[in-house]
């Protein structure tokens, strides 16, 4: 069963090439305490001749001192290497072992069975293709068996083997084996375990581990090793949706600029069209560069460097995708969270969220429910304690590009980091559905193409005819600034001047939208973003009709303003920053909003209880405290003339 081959002696190069091309299978062993996880791995390595003679001699010597088999060879010592593990006879940390057979290469993660080390088990399972869940034949399905089965299902492991261990202690009873299988099936019916198999074994004696058991002739299935070598995992990886988070921009000299990273999903070929998110710039793949030479095609999970035919702006945290196959983009999402820290989760507290190649501040807005992994019952809870699992709503300070975890582990997973201790406190899996779509920030690039990409309904009036009739080019001017800065008054004055000059102009306002189209929205960061998104689509429709649109919104977030530009189309989008000092804005506040924000009655109020990010490169900067509204309006009209939108 080992990887030994006659090619080693005759043609070492051919042997190495054969070994390199073997498929890799990652799997974990999990289950309750003392179910025999470490013993099983030790037996697998021993019977498949993966242990050196001096290692075996040392293990035999250690077995007489700290073994749990009465002085006989204890296979569990192969993985239980920590002193505390050998003293207590338990697994504490995740132990990884590597071996290969003639058919496959394997990476095993031996995970702890104790409830207090559930976070270690989840860590080991996060990269696994298959899970071996062990059950002690004497005890049957226990609490920790259910807990680990739920985590396996939660982490999207498709292939599961239920290994009923210690059959030697129940006289190799077929009846006992069938009873355990029935009990587990009734529990697993509520989980997502699409490929489930059952094998009776004795890890200590090696029955049905590598070689078939002579003492269980009633079992005619494959041994555990045969199953590991033959299970089909080729369809598990997502090779359809190309996702390439940029980790580093490689610029060794003036003639080379490449984007380095690991392909999270999908395949890519030289010459294919790609899009860079969030800028939505398009280009084509020029070369796929690796240390061993250029590739014609690359696929997940290869680490490569992509060079593009155009000089585009991309940096760490951006994502390269196919132009016609985009991930979701949002700053809020629903997720399942496994809490891994002694300190309880605090809803509303600011944490760091690491997703693909970027790390962003954010918070866990709400905890929808906590899951009892023993009964799968959902119950309300104020927070999550160590090793508890719940469904949460996450709000980030900037949008990310993601897929549901079920579709893509690479872009659907994230970890939560404590900002003070820098410790990883939780692991999360993004869910596919948002239960409250009317209240979320829907900047979903997969369903929100830019104005230039939208396929309009067939019209008998062309854009050229509209321009000739109105004597103008359509454009949206976003006037952004603090509350009381004068942006609405400036928009009203510009509308009057343009209309008097015979131009076709329309005006939309953030407060105006809230009286009708956005009447259900509040003033949280996501609701402000959603209000602006709706205004952006309304402005795009007005531009399609040939009109000039004046949009006055607070629009405090720079990334959201950029998305407005993407929605409308960069060729017809301008930004004017009404940079009136906040001291002047306070004096113009007729509604007393600043005073309420100072008193803590208005959370998320830009400039006081929330951040206002000034535009980085505005087309025009206005100050209504230095210039009159009329002068500011004249500057806006002059801008439109200079840009060629009006004559």
Looking at per-residue confidence, does 291 or 525 come out higher? Answer: 291
In contact, 486 and 558? CB cutoff 8 Å: no
Long-range contacts of 605-611 (CB under 8 A, 24+ apart): 605/483, 605/523, 606/482, 606/483, 606/554, 606/556, 607/482, 607/483, 607/582, 610/525, 610/556, 611/556
pLDDT of 548 > 70? The answer is yes
pLDDT of 45 > 60? The answer is yes
Looking at per-residue confidence, does 176 or 38 come out higher? Answer: 176
Domains 243-322 and 329-435 share a fold: yes
Q: Give the percent of the chain with pLDDT over 90.
A: 42
CA-based nearest residue to 604, from 515, 531, 508, 512:
531
Tell me the CA distances in angstroms from 571 to 226, 456, 540, 618, 643, one per residue in order. 61, 17, 12, 14, 10
Per-residue confidence (pLDDT) for residue 83, from 0 to 100? 41
Q: Using one digit for the tens of pLDDT, what is the confidence trace for 458-481?
A: 567 888 888 877 888 999 999 999
pLDDT of 334 > 50? The answer is yes
Beta-strand pair 620-622/573-578: parallel
In 443-547, beta strands by DSSP E: 475-480, 505-509
Per-residue confidence (pLDDT) for residue 60, from 0 to 100? 59
CA-based nearest residue to 562, from 513, 618, 522:
618
pLDDT band at 87 (very low <50, low <70, confident <90, very high): very low
Q: Which of 269-273, 488-492, 503-507, 596-600 has the lowest mean pLDDT?
A: 596-600
- The CATH classification number of 463-642 equals 3.40.50.300
Peptide bond between residue 301 and the one before it cis (omega within 30 degrees of 0) = yes
Per-residue confidence (pLDDT) for residue 8, from 0 to 100? 65
pLDDT of 369 > 60? The answer is yes
pLDDT of 130 > 70? The answer is yes
Per-residue confidence (pLDDT) for residue 68, from 0 to 100? 53
Per-residue confidence (pLDDT) for residue 458, from 0 to 100? 58
pLDDT of 320 > 50? The answer is yes
Looking at per-residue confidence, does 323 or 445 come out higher? Answer: 323
Q: Using one digit for the tens of pLDDT, what is the confidence trace for 164-199?
A: 999 999 999 999 999 999 999 988 888 888 889 999
pLDDT band at 85 (very low <50, low <70, confident <90, very high): very low
In contact, 548 and 540? CB cutoff 8 Å: no
pLDDT band at 395 (very low <50, low <70, confident <90, very high): very high
pLDDT band at 4 (very low <50, low <70, confident <90, very high): low
Looking at per-residue confidence, does 164 or 512 come out higher? Answer: 164
Per-residue confidence (pLDDT) for residue 137, from 0 to 100? 92
Alpha-carbon distance of 221 to 496, in angstroms, equals 83
Q: Which of 36-50, 226-240, 516-530 has the lowest mean pLDDT?
A: 36-50
Q: Which of 12-16, 25-29, 191-195, 286-290 has the lowest mean pLDDT?
A: 12-16
380's CB contacts (< 8 A; 6+ apart) are 369, 370
Per-residue confidence (pLDDT) for residue 436, from 0 to 100? 43
Q: Which of 1-15, 177-191, 257-271, 321-335 has the lowest mean pLDDT?
A: 1-15
Any idea what DSSP says for residue 404?
-
Q: Which of 139-153, 266-280, 393-407, 427-441 has the lowest mean pLDDT?
A: 427-441
Per-residue confidence (pLDDT) for residue 91, from 0 to 100? 43
What's this model's pTM, rounded to 2 decimal places?
A: 0.61
Per-residue confidence (pLDDT) for residue 318, from 0 to 100? 94
pLDDT of 155 > 60? The answer is yes
Which CATH class name applies to 7-230? alpha beta
Per-residue confidence (pLDDT) for residue 31, from 0 to 100? 78
Fold of 243-322: Elongation Factor Tu (Ef-tu); domain 3 (2.40.30)
Provide the CA 252 distance to its chain's centre, in angstroms.
Answer: 31
Give me the mean pLDDT over the 16-20 stretch: 69
Alpha-carbon distance of 216 to 168, in angstroms, equals 10
pLDDT of 88 > 70? The answer is no
In 137-272, beta strands by DSSP E: 159-165, 195-200, 243-245, 248-253, 256-262, 267-269
Per-residue confidence (pLDDT) for residue 571, from 0 to 100? 85
Any idea what DSSP says for residue 571?
G
Alpha-carbon distance of 542 to 475, in angstroms, equals 9
Written as six digits, the tokens of 636 are 């806006």
CA-based nearest residue to 326, from 240, 385, 409, 257:
240
Q: Average pLDDT, whole number, for the chain?
A: 83
* Side-chain-facing half-sphere of 28: CA atoms under 13 Å: 27
Domain boundaries, the chain: 7-230, 243-322, 329-435, 463-642
Looking at per-residue confidence, does 382 or 4 come out higher? Answer: 382
Element (H, E) at 563: helix 558-568
pLDDT of 599 > 60? The answer is yes
Looking at per-residue confidence, does 416 or 511 come out higher? Answer: 416
In contact, 80 and 95? CB cutoff 8 Å: yes
Partners of 245 in beta bridges: 319
Written as six digits, the tokens of 522 are 């509040």
pLDDT band at 92 (very low <50, low <70, confident <90, very high): very low
Give me the mean pLDDT over the 537-553 stretch: 92
Alpha-carbon distance of 329 to 566, in angstroms, equals 13
Which CATH class name applies to 329-435? mainly beta
Q: Which of 171-180, 294-303, 498-507, 522-531 has the lowest mean pLDDT?
A: 522-531
Give me the mean pLDDT over the 433-462 stretch: 51
Sign, CA torsion 568/570/573/578: positive
pLDDT of 488 > 50? The answer is yes
pLDDT of 345 > 70? The answer is yes
Peptide bond between residue 230 and the one before it cis (omega within 30 degrees of 0) = no
């Amino acid at each position: 069963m080992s990887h030994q081959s006659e090619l080693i002696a005759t043609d070492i190069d051919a042997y190495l090439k054969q070994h390199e091309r073997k498929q890799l299978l990652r799997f974990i062993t999990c289950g309750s305490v003392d179910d025999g996880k470490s013993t099983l791995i030790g037996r697998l390595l021993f019977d498949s001749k993966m242990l050196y003679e001096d290692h075996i001699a040392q293990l035999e010597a250690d077995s007489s001192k700290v073994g749990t088999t009465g002085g006989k060879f204890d296979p569990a010592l192969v993985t239980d290497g920590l002193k505390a593990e050998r003293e207590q006879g338990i697994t504490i940390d995740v132990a990884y072992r590597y071996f290969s057979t003639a058919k496959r290469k394997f990476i095993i993660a031996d995970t702890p069975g104790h409830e207090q080390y559930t976070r270690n088990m989840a860590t080991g399972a996060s990269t696994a293709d298959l899970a071996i869940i062990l059950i002690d034949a004497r005890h049957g399905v226990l609490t920790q068996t259910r807990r680990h089965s739920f985590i396996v299902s939660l982490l999207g492991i498709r292939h599961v083997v239920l290994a009923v261990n210690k059959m030697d202690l129940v006289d190799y009873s077929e009846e006992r084996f069938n009873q355990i299988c029935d009990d587990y099936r009734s529990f697993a019916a509520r989980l997502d375990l699409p490929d489930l198999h059952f094998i009776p074994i004795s890890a200590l004696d090696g029955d049905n581990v590598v070689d078939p058991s002579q003492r269980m002739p009633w079992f005619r299935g494959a041994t555990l090793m045969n199953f590991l070598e033959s299970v089909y995992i080729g369809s598990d990886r997502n090779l359809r949706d190309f996702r390439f988070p940029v980790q580093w921009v490689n610029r060794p000299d003036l003639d080379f600029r490449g984007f380095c990273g690991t392909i999270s999903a999908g395949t890519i070929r030289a010459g294919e069209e790609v899009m860079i998110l969030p800028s939505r710039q398009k280009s084509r793949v020029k070369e796929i560069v690796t240390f061993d030479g250029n590739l014609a095609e690359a696929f997940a999970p290869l680490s490569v460097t992509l060079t593009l035919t155009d000089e585009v702006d991309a940096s760490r945290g951006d994502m390269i995708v196919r132009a016609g196959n985009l991930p979701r983009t949002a700053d809020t999402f629903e997720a399942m969270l496994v809490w891994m820290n002694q300190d309880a989760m605090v809803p509303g507290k600011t944490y760091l969220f690491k997703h693909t190649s970027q790390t962003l501040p954010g918070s866990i807005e709400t905890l929808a429910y906590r899951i009892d992994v023993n009964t799968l019952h959902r119950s309300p809870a104020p927070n999550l304690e160590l090793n508890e699992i719940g469904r949460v709503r996450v709000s980030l300070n900037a949008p990310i590009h993601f897929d549901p975890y079920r579709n893509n582990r690479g872009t659907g997973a994230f970890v939560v980091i404590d900002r003070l201790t820098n410790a990883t406190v939780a692991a999360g899996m993004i869910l596919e559905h948002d239960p409250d779509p009317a209240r979320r920030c829907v900047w979903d690039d997969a369903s929100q193409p830019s104005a230039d990409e939208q396929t309009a309904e067939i019209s008998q009036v062309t854009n050229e005819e509209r321009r000739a009739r109105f004597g103008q080019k359509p454009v949206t001017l976003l006037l952004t600034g603090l509350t009381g800065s004068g942006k609405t008054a400036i928009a009203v004055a510009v509308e009057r001047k343009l209309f008097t000059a015979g131009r076709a102009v329309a005006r939309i306002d953030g407060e105006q939208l809230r009286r009708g189209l956005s009447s259900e929205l509040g003033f949280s960061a996501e609701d402000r973003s959603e209000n602006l998104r709706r205004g952006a689509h309304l402005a795009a429709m007005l531009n399609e009709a040939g009109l000039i649109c004046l949009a006055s919104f607070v629009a405090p977030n720079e990334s959201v303003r950029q998305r407005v530009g993407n929605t409308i189309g960069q060729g017809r989008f301008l930004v004017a920053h009404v940079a009136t000092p906040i001291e002047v804005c306070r004096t113009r506040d007729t509604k007393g909003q600043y005073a309420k924000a100072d008193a803590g009655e208005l959370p998320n109020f830009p400039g006081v209880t929330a951040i206002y990010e000034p535009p980085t490169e505005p087309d025009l900067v206005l100050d209504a405290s230095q210039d009159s509204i009329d002068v500011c309006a004249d500057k806006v009209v002059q801008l439109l003339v200079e840009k060629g939108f009006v004559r």
